[in-house]
Amino acid sequence: MVYISSWDEFAERSIQLFRADPQSTRYVMKYRHCDGKLVLKVADNRECLKFKTDQAQDAKKMEKLNNVFFTLMVRGPDADITEVSGKEQTEAQPTKKGRGRKQ
């Protein structure tokens, strides 16, 4: 299986893969510190999706996907993931205008 180069495509297809077969789909994150490489893999025994990166910004995207998969795997394939996947965007909006750090 070749690596998928677009993050959005990878994220979308991996969620589809899980929903199609929740019991055999797993999500693997491999991190190699000495090479500074991160590989994500989603597979269901038939299909395998992979994404490779060395960029720190992709780690942030991965964090969101982690949360999506946590939600899907704990609450079931029909769980509502709009909150987990869309929350950051809707909440990031007001902070743009905000007065610096909110704490």
Partner 1 sequence: MGFCCFRVTELVLLQPDPFLNELTAMYGRSTENGSVWVTFKRSSMKSKAKRNKLGADALEFRCLVRATDGKKTISTLISAKDQQKFQSSYATVLKAHMHALKKRERKDKKKAAEVNKKEEKAPKKSRSSTKVTA
- Residue 19 lies near partner 1 (rule: CB under 8 A): no
Is 11 or 38 the residue whose CB approaches partner 1 more closely? 38
- Residue 22 lies near partner 1 (rule: CB under 8 A): yes
How many CB atoms are closer than 10 A to CB 72? 21
Q: How many residues bind partner 1 (CB under 8 A)?
A: 45
Residues within window 41-70 making contact with partner 1, judged by CB under 8 A: 53-60, 63, 66-67, 69-70
User: What's the number of CA atoms in the CB half-sphere (13 Å) around residue 87?
Assistant: 10
Check the CA dihedral 15-29-67-22 and report its sign.
positive
- Residue 7 lies near partner 1 (rule: CB under 8 A): no
Is 9 or 88 the residue whose CB approaches partner 1 more closely? 88
Residue 63, amino acid: E
Residue 37, amino acid: K
Could you give the C-alpha distances from 11 to 54, 66, 102, 103, in angstroms and in order? 17, 10, 30, 31
- Residue 33 lies near partner 1 (rule: CB under 8 A): yes
Q: Give the footprint of partner 1 on this chain (CB under 8 A).
A: 22-23, 25-36, 38, 53-60, 63, 66-67, 69-76, 87-88, 91-92, 95-96, 98, 100-103
